[in-house]
Amino acid sequence: MIAFWLFLLFVILQRLIELLIAKRNERILKVQGAIEFDKNGYRVIAAMHVAFFISLICEKVFFQRTLNTYWIVFAVVFAGAQVLRYWAIKTLGVYWNTKILVLPNHKLVNTGLYKYLRHPNYIAVIVEIAVIPLIFSCYLTASIFSVINFILLRRRIKIEKIALRKTSIGFAI
């Protein structure tokens, strides 16, 4: 059980650090004239992530879920998602954010990871939402939140495309 709480603490600390980075980037971008799109959608996604952690804890504790037999495979997949996420964050630099913030007339980033993938950060999130619960045999959380996350990200990507089309130079997604 201690492994669960330590892992959960690690993931939550990651998310809190990412929120600090996003807040710093938001301040920088807004000073430069960035426009925020879909504030309400962001709140729903944030609430989904909080509910994900609550569900994970409840399923683990109340259903007495144990470490999955294949936990090492899932942990390696999780680690791969972390590499993908932080590569995306590094590639985007100040433009990375948890919100949809777009600078008018900004040229899209198409270097690094974005030369090969359109939404690497979202791929990492999709993997995490599925794999974190699977490490601890929390199949209900993995299933339910994978579906919810897919629906929310699909909507968000559509809104991002519209925002980028309206404001960016060289948009061709």
Per-residue pLDDT tens digits for 22-54: 999 999 999 999 999 999 999 999 999 999 999
Do the domain assignments include residue 11? yes
Q: How many CB atoms lie within 10 A of CB 4?
A: 18
**173 inside domain:** no
Residue 145 scores a pLDDT above 90: yes
- E strands along the chain, which residues? 35-37, 100-102
Q: Is residue 124 part of a domain?
A: yes
* Least confident stretch, 24-28, 68-72, 98-102, 108-112: 108-112
The CATH number given to whatever domain includes residue 153 is: 1.20.120.1630
| Alpha carbons 90 and 86: distance in angstroms, whole number | 6
Is there a domain that residue 10 lies in?
yes
- Structural domain count, the chain: 1
Predicted TM-score (pTM) of this structure: 0.92
Answer whether residue 90 is part of any domain.
yes
Q: Taking 80 as the threshold, does the pLDDT of residue 170 lie above it?
A: no
Task: Tell me if 27 is assigned to some domain.
Answer: yes
12 phi/psi in degrees, rounded to 5: -65, -40
* The pLDDT value given to residue 17: 97
User: Looking at the domain assignment, is residue 172 inside a domain?
Assistant: no
pLDDT above 70 covers a percentage of the chain that reads 97
Q: What is the mean pLDDT of the chain?
A: 94
Domain of residue 156 covers: 2-167
